[in-house]
Amino acid sequence: MAEADLDIFIRQIAKAQNKSLMAAVKKRRDQIMARAAKAKDKETRDQFRLIAKSTMLLGTAAAKRLQNSAENTADSYARAIRNAAEEPRPLRRQRKSLPRRTIEAAPGLRPPDGPGKCRARIDDRR
């Protein structure tokens, strides 16, 4: 059942990546909000707040896409393992050993003249 644990492992990795991504997004948002607090006029402060809000929205969307992708991958892997376990294994056929055939030189062909030469040539009867 060790194969089935891989989908759980995929989910755990995705969860850890999701947490680290959200932490980075929140840290970036806090940096932008700190700039907004230091802003001299209202326009700049509102602009920084808007940037912080959109940063949080885009980061959350990226985290959701990452999570969905990982869920789909884990589900697909689990389904593939389950289908492989249910599928009967084909019986291995033993191959019949065929007698070795030797290639005879065809009439009109001669052996090569040396290394790098063509292995079989047609007679120069033109």
Q: What is the pLDDT of residues 3-20, one digit of tens each?
A: 557 889 999 999 999 999
Name the least confident of 11-15, 39-43, 55-59, 89-93: 89-93
Residue 45 lies in a domain: yes
Q: Which residues contact 110 (CB under 8 A, 6 or more apart)?
A: 120, 121, 123
d(CA 37, CA 48): 9
| pLDDT over threshold 60, residue 114 | no
Residue 38 lies in a domain: yes
pLDDT of residue 93: 73
pLDDT of residue 18: 95
| pLDDT over threshold 70, residue 51 | yes
DSSP label at residue 110: E
Q: What is the pLDDT of the chain when averaged over all its residues?
A: 82
Total domains in the chain come to: 1
Domain range for 48 is 5-66
pLDDT bracket for residue 86 (50, 70, 90):
confident
| pLDDT over threshold 90, residue 34 | yes
Task: Check the CA dihedral 42-47-53-55 and report its sign.
Answer: negative
pLDDT of residue 103: 62
| pLDDT over threshold 60, residue 54 | yes
Residue 115 lies in a domain: no
pLDDT bracket for residue 92 (50, 70, 90):
confident
Beta strands in the chain (DSSP E): 109-110, 121-122
Q: Does 78 or 92 have the greater pLDDT score?
A: 78
Residue 23 lies in a domain: yes
Residue 48 lies in a domain: yes
Residue 89 lies in a domain: no
d(CA 97, CA 69): 49
Residue 88 lies in a domain: no
Residue 123 lies in a domain: no
